[in-house]
A and B are shown apart, each in its own frame.
Chain A
Amino acid sequence: MTDDTQALAQGLNRRDPDLLDHLIELYQHRLYRYLLFLTGNPALAEDLFQETWIRVLERGHQYNAKSKFESWLFAIARNLVIDVSRRKKMSSLEDLGDPDSNQPFDPPDEHSTSALQLLVSRENQQAVQLSLLKIPAYYREVLLLRFHEEMGLEEIAAMMSTPVSTVKSRLYRGLAALKSVLPEGAV
């Protein structure tokens, strides 16, 4: 345990508002992107962003500094997303908790446009980026954590409370799903 993570754990235990201000500033982009990619809904991502930090405040004493702070933070955010998806039965999240069916991946309708697609397409029209939004959330999540956040397999597994083998399997399926949504002419 480094001095930094120990100091972080102590600060969270004290519910230090200055520390929380700093953490919110520091992790705002990564956390918001993670929530947006998971939910596909900017308004919901905003709500969950705020709720995640409230939960960090309330449960700061549970952070033991054995894991990286960002893994703990994402785990909180992930649990909130799962709670919301269960409460609202959001089909777009396709139940993050139990995605490992043997059914083949079925690409969605080319013309369907989610709020996330609109948000991203306003800034970047490249079809290649929109392709990412066509794969199921539970694959998108592991791909994001692995290839954007550059988390290790064990780290992702700990965050998601699943075995490493499950994470690997989702990554392989996620890559296969990516292949199936490649823009025409790309392959």
Chain B
Amino acid sequence: MTETLHIRAQKFFAQSLVEGLSHPDQSWLDQHLHECTDCVREIASIQELLHALRTVPVSVPRDLAARTQLRVRLRAQEPTLTSHGNFLLWVITGFSWFVGVLSAPLVWRGFAWVGNYLHVPKLAVEMGFVLWWAVPALFAVAAVLHQKGFNISPSRGPN
């Protein structure tokens, strides 16, 4: 029996395990195995390994399920940012931005008056005005990013 026939038989056997064989190929393989003890022995070994893969004893550590259940329950009790919460956050942010823009001239005049009254340099007044707007926004961004960090953990999703 030639080497080519053995290789063909091995290929057909693997194919039968992975994606199935056509009827003529299966018949050819059966016929070959009927005549070739080497291939029968090799295929039996692989089948034995696959059987071992199915039956290999792996015991789950004691209490792992119970510990996991407890951890999941505790996490489930933590507050999350729901879509409803998200919507409210956007509404509040939008409203805050709108009011902020409307009140900007008044705030600017207030800063100018205080600066004038306390004899603070114009540059410091301008910086104070910028910080007045920027700091709360930066805190809000940090809070949102922090929240997202909890909800979207570091890796990809499960598709």
Asked if B56 and A120 make an inter-chain contact with CB atoms under 8 angstroms apart, the answer reads yes
Distance in angstroms between the alpha carbons of A46 and B58 in the assembled complex: 13
Asked if B61 and A46 make an inter-chain contact with CB atoms under 8 angstroms apart, the answer reads yes
Question: Which one of A36, A58, A186 contacts B45 once the chains associate, using CB atoms below 8 Å?
Answer: A186
Chain A positions within 8 Å of B2 at CB level: none
Q: Interface SS of chain B: helix, strand, loop or mixed?
A: helix
B residues 56-75 in Cβ contact with A at 8 Å: 56-61, 64-65, 67-69, 71-73, 75
Asked if B159 and A128 make an inter-chain contact with CB atoms under 8 angstroms apart, the answer reads no
Once A144-B53, A175-B46 are accepted as A-B contacts, the answer to whether A32 and B60 lie under 8 Å apart by CB is: yes
Does B8 belong to the interface (CB within 8 Å)?
no
Does A20 belong to the interface (CB within 8 Å)?
yes
Q: Interface SS of chain A: helix, strand, loop or mixed?
A: helix
Does A10 belong to the interface (CB within 8 Å)?
no
Asked if B49 and A187 make an inter-chain contact with CB atoms under 8 angstroms apart, the answer reads no
Distance in angstroms between the alpha carbons of A50 and B45 in the assembled complex: 36
Q: Choose the segment among A1-9, A22-30, A99-107 that binds chain B (4+ C-beta atoms closer than 8 Å).
A: A22-30
Chain A positions within 8 Å of B23 at CB level: none
Distance in angstroms between the alpha carbons of A186 and B49 in the assembled complex: 10
Asked if B159 and A158 make an inter-chain contact with CB atoms under 8 angstroms apart, the answer reads yes
Chain B positions within 8 Å of A120 at CB level: 56-58
Question: Which one of B17, B46, B58 contacts A179 once the chains associate, using CB atoms below 8 Å?
Answer: B46
Asked if B56 and A29 make an inter-chain contact with CB atoms under 8 angstroms apart, the answer reads no
Does B138 belong to the interface (CB within 8 Å)?
no
Asked if A50 and B71 make an inter-chain contact with CB atoms under 8 angstroms apart, the answer reads yes
Question: Which one of B19, B49, B72 contacts A53 once the chains associate, using CB atoms below 8 Å?
Answer: B72
B62 to chain A, nearest CB (A): 11
Total interface residues on A, CB under 8 Å, equals 57
Interface residues on B, range: 35 or more
Chain A positions within 8 Å of B72 at CB level: 17, 20-21, 24, 53-54, 57
Does B103 belong to the interface (CB within 8 Å)?
no
Does B157 belong to the interface (CB within 8 Å)?
yes
Chain A positions within 8 Å of B49 at CB level: 128, 131-132, 178, 182
Q: Which residues of B contact A (CB under 8 A)?
A: 14, 17-19, 41-42, 45-46, 48-50, 52-54, 56-61, 64-65, 67-69, 71-73, 75-76, 80, 151, 153-159
Q: Which residues of A contact B (CB under 8 A)?
A: 15, 17, 20-21, 24-25, 28-29, 32-33, 36-37, 42, 46, 49-50, 53-55, 57-59, 62, 72, 75-76, 79-80, 82-83, 119-120, 123-124, 126, 128-129, 131-132, 143-144, 146-148, 153, 158, 161, 168, 171-172, 175-176, 178-179, 182, 186-187
Known: A54-B71, A178-B50. 5 other contacts (CB 8 A): A21-B72, A72-B158, A129-B52, A153-B19, A158-B159
9 residue pairs A–B, Cβ–Cβ below 8 Å: A36-B58, A75-B159, A79-B158, A119-B58, A120-B58, A123-B57, A128-B49, A148-B54, A178-B50
